[in-house]
Amino acid sequence: MHDIRFLDETLDIHKINSYHLSIQAGLDGFSFAILDPGRFKYIALKHFSYPEKIPEDKYPDHLRELIMKDDFLPGEYDSIYCIWLNARSTLLPSALFDKNNLKKYFEFNHILHDLDELHANHLKSPDAYLIFPVHHEIANIFIRHYPRLKFFNQATPFIEYALHNVGDGTEATYLNIYKDFFDIVVIRNHSLILHNTFQYRNEQDFIYFIMNVFDKIQLNPGTCPVYLSGMIEKKSAMSGIVKKFIKTVHFAKPDKRFQYSHAFDRIPEHFFIHLYNLYNCG
């Protein structure tokens, strides 16, 4: 994907302290969107794509330079939320959650690396906590520049979106796709049935994991619709193989609670849905 720089004509750099900043950062790219909360309108979107992943130990220096060189990132915003892209997370019901036991919960499913620090997002529906790691040195750079920043896992706005936007059908499956992993959510009767994250190398891996989920929780590919979002083109091998196995496939629509600058019309509307939706998770 190429770099993106979309600015609405109403964006005023002198009003940044009244705006909200949503960031999505990972080793293979960096994106941010600016929201004018007074109008509930997104007025800026920028994306930097990296040809190759930046090593985790090199990322803090890269991040520091990126923030300082950009026209908008150094500003003092009214609120700042940041997604750190990571395929490792654990979802835990609130009834079982104790903030003093994050390490114990996380290590039940994943390896905790030496420089990982753990964070938790509360999901209102379902009443649960999503526990996830952020590299300590990367987190420090963010907090140094944005002391009031809140960290989120990419699944947090994704799950919120799926639960809010599910239609009248009894069940639906949502996929949010990144370069080498994707999140999957299954909603049944307006309740979260499943969330999982899978790493993939090619289209065959991708469809294998999807169909395995369909098989394990007895979803019918002839009747259960699939909604795609994230870094997936409408005419790509990835979307093509989903359509081969699933009868009804849609590309997700942006949340209607927001307005979006007409400048955003130049890219597929499903690319950054969950970056936009992050504001609803605070």
Q: What are phi and psi of 4, to 5 degrees?
A: -130, 140
From the list 33, 115, 114, the residue with the least C-alpha distance to 77 is 33
What predicted TM-score, i.e. pTM, was given to this entire model? 0.95
With residue 48 as reference, give the H or E element that holds it.
strand 41-49
* C-alpha span between 153 and 120 (Å, rounded): 8
Q: Indicate the average pLDDT of the chain.
A: 96
Each residue's pLDDT tens digit, 34-61: 999 999 999 999 999 998 999 999 999 9
Please calculate the CA angle 25-27-31 and round it to the nearest 5 degrees.
30
What number is the average pLDDT over the span 108-120?
A: 97
**What pLDDT is stored for residue 166 in this prediction?**
79
What percentage of the chain carries pLDDT values higher than 70?
A: 99
List pLDDT tens digits, range 59-80.
Answer: 999 999 999 999 999 999 999 9
Name every residue whose Cβ is closer than 8 Å to that of residue 63 and which is 6 or more positions away in sequence.
25, 30, 138, 141, 142
The answer, yes or no, to whether residue 277 has pLDDT greater than 90, is yes
pLDDT tens per residue, range 209-229: 999 999 999 999 999 999 999
Asked if residues 175 and 206 have their Cβ atoms less than 8 Å apart, the reply is no
Confidence of residue 2 (pLDDT cuts 50, 70, 90): confident
| DSSP string for residues in 108-133 | TTSPPPTTEEEEEEEETTTTEEEEEE
In the structure, what pLDDT confidence band is assigned to residue 125 with cuts at 50, 70 and 90? confident
Which is more confident, 169 or 118?
A: 118
Q: Is the per-residue pLDDT at 248 higher than 80?
A: yes
> In 116-225, which residue ranges form alpha helices assigned H by DSSP?
136-145, 155-165, 203-216
List Cα–Cα distances, 140 to 51, 55, 97, 125, 173, in angstroms: 25, 17, 25, 30, 36
Nearest CA to 34 out of 11, 56, 67 is that of 11
pLDDT in tens, 151-180: 999 999 999 999 988 766 689 999 999 999
- End-to-end C-alpha distance for the chain, whole angstroms: 29
Query: What is the structure's pLDDT at 133?
Result: 98
| Ordered domains of the chain (ranges, CATH) | 166-251 (3.30.420.260)
